[in-house]
């Protein structure tokens, strides 16, 4: 490594070799804290179905930190306009009714903070802070067989209120 902030990783899959990360700091300061190497796309997944939704979950006062970056994950196209998006995040909610996320901190997550996916009804995301987010802070994303949305596999009736969102789209 010859330039600041360069890194190289050995994955440890070769027999007799350990997984090792080599990193050259930028030289402005010494590494004084722990170094975090994330491997998880999601920290919590709440998954039900439209026919059998998960109901009445409260997530309160939890910190979500250091998920894996999403730019190398599977993206899907929506709406015929060439826009693509990853359906993962630090907190994924799908097939649920009455989920509340309150007073949580989403800090330095590599992808989305929260994803409301397909059938999500009457969820509330409130009084939470989203900072240094790799993609979007909160995503509300449905699915259609065609472009008519008759299957009703999309979030509806949800409230996103009084959140502080800053430094987003770091990797997107």
Instruction: Grade residue 17 by pLDDT with cuts at 50, 70 and 90.
Output: confident
Q: What is the pLDDT of residues 50-67, one digit of tens each?
A: 999 999 999 999 999 999
Q: What is the pLDDT of residues 142-171, one digit of tens each?
A: 887 666 666 778 999 999 999 999 999 887
Let me know: does 1 contact 22? Beta carbons within 8 Å: yes
Comparing 68 with 97, which gets the higher pLDDT? 97
Distance CA(107)–CA(63), nearest Å, equals: 7
pLDDT at 100: 98
Q: Are strands 83-85 and 76-78 parallel, antiparallel or unpaired?
A: antiparallel
Let me know: does 157 contact 132? Beta carbons within 8 Å: no
Distances (CA, A) of 28 to 119, 134, 154, 170: 48, 24, 47, 21
Greatest mean pLDDT among 10-19, 29-38, 76-85, 88-97 lies in: 88-97
Distance CA(34)–CA(67), nearest Å, equals: 15
pLDDT at 78: 64
pTM exceeds 0.85, yes or no: no
Q: Sign of the C-alpha dihedral, residues 26, 32, 33, 36?
A: positive
């Amino acid at each position: 490594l010859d330039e600041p902030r360069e890194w190289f990783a050995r994955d440890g899959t070769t027999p007799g070799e350990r997984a090792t990360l080599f990193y050259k700091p930028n030289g402005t300061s010494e590494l004084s804290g722990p170094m975090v190497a994330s491997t998880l796309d999601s920290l919590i997944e709440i998954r039900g179905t439209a026919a059998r939704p998960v109901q009445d979950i409260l997530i309160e006062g939890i910190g979500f930190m250091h998920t894996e970056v999403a730019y190398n994950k599977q993206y899907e196209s929506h709406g015929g306009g060439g826009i693509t998006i990853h359906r993962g995040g630090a907190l994924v909610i799908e097939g649920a009714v009455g989920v509340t996320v309150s007073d949580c901190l989403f800090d330095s997550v590599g992808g989305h903070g929260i994803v409301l996916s397909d059938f999500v009804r009457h969820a509330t995301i409130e009084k939470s802070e989203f900072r240094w987010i790799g993609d979007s802070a909160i995503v509300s994303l449905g699915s259609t067989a065609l472009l008519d949305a008759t299957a009703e596999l999309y979030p509806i009736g949800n409230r996103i209120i009084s959140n502080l969102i800053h430094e987003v789209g770091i990797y997107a």
